[in-house]
């Protein structure tokens, strides 16, 4: 048996990982990755929608990266990440150009369609900041079970979008940092009251970027998507690789430090 090792920020646990391409209805090719449990079928699926690309958001933004590196092994989840149009990461650059959340509707549709054609089970959308607005605006599709929103700014999502989710009855979970730059727990509770089934979870001490709080986020995500598998273990007794965190250094905290520029993300 392998030695028990603490799971760290750059730990990569075993999974079947495949580079994928998504094809949008308006003719673009988007780059992404699908991570699956190494030796068994997934019990549920996360389709990840990243933060604002003009502020450094991408498929490798740290919470989404850690989800893909850990959750196939720890929670038997499939994790699908991709770069929205015009966005670059280590995986590559998706075709097109950032469209302020308008043309990105086709990106969301392409990701959901890919999950459906791949027969991925129990598809949940996991949006972060800008990705939460994409989720609320375009994600309430028949093949989607529910939505988990990290640091939702509610910038471009309007009342009509919330009404669609309300009438669907699909679960909506909002994880809201106590010290968020855009929307804090008390206001979030008021605004998400438009969705009666929405659950707003204030996270003490956390900030918009979830630096130092990724484990809390992943625990809450798994608790909803794969009940009974949270809290996640903090140690691993199997093979483990280490990712190169320096590859993302200029696209994490530094890229988000100016929180004065709209829109949020």
Structure tokens at 260: 């004065």
Give the pLDDT confidence score for residue 225 in this predicted structure.
Answer: 98
Give the pLDDT confidence score for residue 263 in this predicted structure.
Answer: 36
Top pLDDT among 264 and 212 is at 212
Instruction: Give the 3-state secondary structure of residue 60.
Output: coil
Q: What is the pLDDT of residues 11-37, one digit of tens each?
A: 999 999 999 999 999 999 999 999 999
Residue 3 — pLDDT band, cuts 50, 70, 90?
Answer: confident
Query: pTM, whole model, 2 decimals?
Result: 0.93
What are the helix (H) ranges across 42-153? 62-75, 104-117, 130-138
How far, in Å, CA of 143 to CA of 243, rounded? 33
| Strand-strand pairing, 16-23 and 29-36 | antiparallel
Average pLDDT for residues 132-144, to the nearest whole number?
98
Residue 264 — pLDDT band, cuts 50, 70, 90?
Answer: very low
Sheet-wide strand order for 199-203: 16-23, 29-36, 77-82, 44-49, 123-128, 144-150, 172-177, 199-203
DSSP for residue 249: G
Preceding omega of 57 cis (within 30 degrees of 0):
no
Give the pLDDT confidence score for residue 213 in this predicted structure.
Answer: 97
- Dihedral sign, CA of 103, 58, 171, 123? positive
Q: What is the pLDDT of residues 99-120, one digit of tens each?
A: 999 999 999 999 999 999 999 9
The percent of residues in the chain predicted with pLDDT above 90, rounded, is 90
How far, in Å, CA of 75 to CA of 11, rounded? 15
Q: How many CB atoms lie within 10 A of CB 133?
A: 27
């Amino acid at each position: 048996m392998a030695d028990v090792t603490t799971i760290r920020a750059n730990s990569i646990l075993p999974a079947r990982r495949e580079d994928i391409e998504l094809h949008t209805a308006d003719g673009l090719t988007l780059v992404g990755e699908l991570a699956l449990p190494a030796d068994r079928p997934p019990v549920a699926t996360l389709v990840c929608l990243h933060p604002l690309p003009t502020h450094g958001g991408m498929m490798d933004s740290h919470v989404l990266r850690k989800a893909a590196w850990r959750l196939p092994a720890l929670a038997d989840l499939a994790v699908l990440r991709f770069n929205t149009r015009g966005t670059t990461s280590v995986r590559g650059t998706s075709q097109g150009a950032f469209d302020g959340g308008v043309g990105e509707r086709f990106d969301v549709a392409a990701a959901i369609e890919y999950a459906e054609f791949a027969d991925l089970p129990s598809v949940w959308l996991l949006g972060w900041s800008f990705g939460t607005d994409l989720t609320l605006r375009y994600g309430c599709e028949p093949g989607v079970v529910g939505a988990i929103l990290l640091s939702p700014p509610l910038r471009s999502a309007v009342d009509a979008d919330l009404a669609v989710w309300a009438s669907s009855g699909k679960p909506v979970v909002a994880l809201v940092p106590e010290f968020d730059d855009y929307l804090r727990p008390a206001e979030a509770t008021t605004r998400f009251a438009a969705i009666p089934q929405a659950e707003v979870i204030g996270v003490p001490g956390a900030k918009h970027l979830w630096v130092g709080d990724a484990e809390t986020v992943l625990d809450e995500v798994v608790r909803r998507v794969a009940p009974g598998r949270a809290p996640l273990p903090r140690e691993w007794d199997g093979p483990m690789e280490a990712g190169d965190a320096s590859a993302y250094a200029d696209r994490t905290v530094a890229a988000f430090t100016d929180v004065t520029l709209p829109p949020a993300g």
